[in-house]
Amino acid sequence: MQVPPGLPHVLHFLALLSPPVILVFIVSYFFPIPIWATILLSIASVPAYLAFHISHKYSKEKRRAAAIGAAFPPSYNGVKFGNFDLLVMFQNIYANGYLGDGLTDAHAELGGTFNLRILWDNNILTNDANVIKAVLATEFPNFIKGKHFQAFMNSVLGTGVFNTDGDMWKFHRQMTRPFFSRDRISHFDIFEKHSDDAIAKMRERLREGQAVDFQDLIWRFTLDSASEFLFGACIDHLSSNLPYPPNTPQAATNNDQETSADRFAHAFARAQDTIAKRGRMGHIWPFLEIFSNKTADDMKIVDDFLNPILQQAVENYTKDKEAGLIKENESEEVKDDETFLDHLVRTTTDSQILHDEILNILIAGRDTTAGTLTFAVYFLCMYPHILERLRKEILEAVGPSRRPDYDDIKDMKYLRAFLNEVLRLYPAVPFNVRYAINDTTMPNPDPNGKPFFIPAGTPITYSVLLMHRRTDYWGEDAHVFDPDRFLDDRLQRLIANPFIFLPFNAGPRICLGQQFAYNEMSFFLIRLLQNFSGMDSQLDIQTLPPKEWAQFPGRKGMDKFFPKSHLTAYSKDGMWVKMKEAEPAS
């Protein structure tokens, strides 16, 4: 029986609070103190001890900051005890608000970097490119995912590459890198197979006169592509029925035939949402999981699907090795016909390492790409002139039916600019975090100000989404969707400071699958616009933002969908569209 994930953390917390209580009972043993007084003193000693501990901690941090000529970033303060009102506010924003709400106003008032103390813990938030550069690159050895991050992610990500530090992270990175080191023809075979299936599925539904939830479709496409790429066994999520719009009679049949692929996909999504909620709750989440693991039921569904595949791969490798078909010095070589799992088992046969690494890469290879393609289609619906220009480039470079290859994609400048602009306004991972190992400082944008002090153990939460929309980095039109900014003179802003655009992270932990993702997204968009010449958002079906959002500046006031995020960004309740089929080539 597994120990619930919250229990060890709660016991550790109680142990930290025990010294004053123990001291009271020791004193009562030697002195005649009534039982009622002992109990009252024990209860009173805990908050007194906490107050002393917090005050002493702040005092030490201020002295350490002063010793190196630094100062804390400005503070974002609430009105309730321990800034508990801010914790409640951000939970409400997650449920009902726009991405970045609460932080946007704080940045406008306090600058690119500020300290948000929740329940007396330092939490540094930043959208400053120079601070993010330091965290991800120039001071990389001093910043880790850390034990707090790993604790709430562990029941899903385990010890995979996105949830480890130090030697274990290096091991996973080294194990994974060779498979992403070059473009392989087999990748394009996978893209073609599943994009053609997805487009056929979409065309069939559109010919019924019904709208299609493009987000649901593209999640299926990326899950099928990722599963075949990773372990050579397609989950075949595209084979199940697409959902009908919720305002149609047929919608009653949407859940009639749930397949094993549906169960896997839905369980995996729920598990990710659960661990993301833990992260937003901070130190409170363990108290909500003292007696149960909220990811357990969903991860059982995931594991029941995945573990037999992993077991079969290990058995196949063992048989081939015993038969002398595998040489010891081949472990670093990647063969054209092998899957990612085939490659991994030649590095390790540890079932837990294989399990965790596959799930980590599945999230990276599926959710991020699906989200970006969903937002890409939204922008094509909103800006027909951009769709027309992009389709023109596709038809001139590839034609109306030919399969694109790597050179085609590499040469299509507007397609790359279009994808970059999608990733700028809606990066796949809007928020991320690192923890400082040792005391350090971060650059202060005020040339006359002291550098910002970051105490050891402090998290720095950085928002690529908010950084990508800063007008001082991108110009006054930063909130306008315009792919030409990556082609005209405005590109000089990015050339002057490459760290203002980080859709794939940066530094030693930069995404290994960056080019794979560009290839997959480009391939699908080319196939899509070879088959369809126009598209429209179905706003009567789409879950729209609250009407009052229209009065706000920027994308919050512009966009006609409700953006959300757990680990990655997505559209609430899907992205409902209709598309016009292209005329056959004469």
pTM: 0.93
pLDDT classification of 46: cutoffs 50, 70, 90: confident
Same domain? 191 vs 331: yes
Lowest mean pLDDT among 236-240, 363-367, 454-458, 537-541: 363-367
C-beta of residue 440 within 8 angstroms of C-beta of residue 434: no
Same domain? 58 vs 179: no
394 CB-near residues (< 8 Å, 6+ apart):
412, 415, 525, 526, 529, 530
C-beta of residue 192 within 8 angstroms of C-beta of residue 528: no
Please check the confidence at residue 326 and state whether its pLDDT lies above 80. Answer: no
Same domain? 179 vs 53: no
Percent of the chain, pLDDT > 90? 70
Same domain? 295 vs 414: yes
Same domain? 60 vs 178: no
Question: Residue 303: CA atoms inside 13 Å, Cβ hemisphere, count?
Answer: 15
pLDDT on residue 198: 97
Same domain? 59 vs 191: no
Lowest mean pLDDT among 267-281, 327-341, 375-389: 327-341
Please check the confidence at residue 256 and state whether its pLDDT lies above 80. Answer: no
pLDDT classification of 186: cutoffs 50, 70, 90: low
Lowest mean pLDDT among 32-36, 97-101, 506-510: 32-36
pLDDT on residue 332: 58
> Whole-angstrom Cα distance, residue 380 to residue 483?
12
**Residue 225 sits in which domain range?**
173-428+503-581
**Would you say residue 459 lies in a domain?**
no
pLDDT on residue 229: 87
> Whole-angstrom Cα distance, residue 466 to residue 320?
51
Please check the confidence at residue 329 and state whether its pLDDT lies above 70. Answer: no
**Would you say residue 84 lies in a domain?**
no
**Would you say residue 277 lies in a domain?**
yes
On whether 381 is known to bind a ligand per the annotation, the reply is: no
CATH number at residue 373: 1.10.630.10
pLDDT on residue 5: 87
pLDDT classification of 320: cutoffs 50, 70, 90: confident
C-beta of residue 142 within 8 angstroms of C-beta of residue 437: yes
* Residues 410-435: tens digit of each pLDDT: 999 999 999 999 999 999 999 999 99
Question: Where a domain ends, among 49, 67, 85?
Answer: 67
Helix locations, 31-145, DSSP H: 35-67, 84-96, 103-110, 129-133
Percent of the chain, pLDDT > 70? 97
Same domain? 413 vs 533: yes
pLDDT classification of 111: cutoffs 50, 70, 90: very high
**Would you say residue 123 lies in a domain?**
no
Question: Where a domain ends, among 67, 91, 111?
Answer: 67
pLDDT on residue 543: 95
> Whole-angstrom Cα distance, residue 564 to residue 49?
40
Please check the confidence at residue 292 and state whether its pLDDT lies above 60. Answer: yes
Please check the confidence at residue 336 and state whether its pLDDT lies above 70. Answer: no
3-class SS string, 211-271 = CEEHHHHHHHHHHHHHHHHHHCCCCCHHHCCCCCCCCCHHHHHCCCCCCHHHHHHHHHHHH
pLDDT on residue 301: 95
Lowest mean pLDDT among 207-211, 273-277, 432-436: 273-277
Question: Where a domain ends, among 50, 67, 84?
Answer: 67
Rounded to an integer, the average pLDDT of 61-88 is 94
Rounded to an integer, the average pLDDT of 478-500 is 97
* Residues 132-158: tens digit of each pLDDT: 999 999 999 999 999 999 999 999 999
**Would you say residue 265 lies in a domain?**
yes
**Would you say residue 384 lies in a domain?**
yes
Count of structural domains within the chain: 2
pLDDT classification of 335: cutoffs 50, 70, 90: low
> Whole-angstrom Cα distance, residue 208 to residue 260?
26
pLDDT on residue 261: 86
Name the range with the highest mean pLDDT among 174-183, 360-369, 490-499.
490-499
Please check the confidence at residue 187 and state whether its pLDDT lies above 70. Answer: yes
* Residues 230-245: tens digit of each pLDDT: 888 888 999 989 999 9
Question: Residue 292: CA atoms inside 13 Å, Cβ hemisphere, count?
Answer: 6
pLDDT on residue 586: 61
Mean pLDDT of the chain: 92
C-beta of residue 441 within 8 angstroms of C-beta of residue 434: no
**Would you say residue 491 lies in a domain?**
no
pLDDT on residue 371: 96
pLDDT classification of 338: cutoffs 50, 70, 90: confident
pLDDT on residue 29: 78
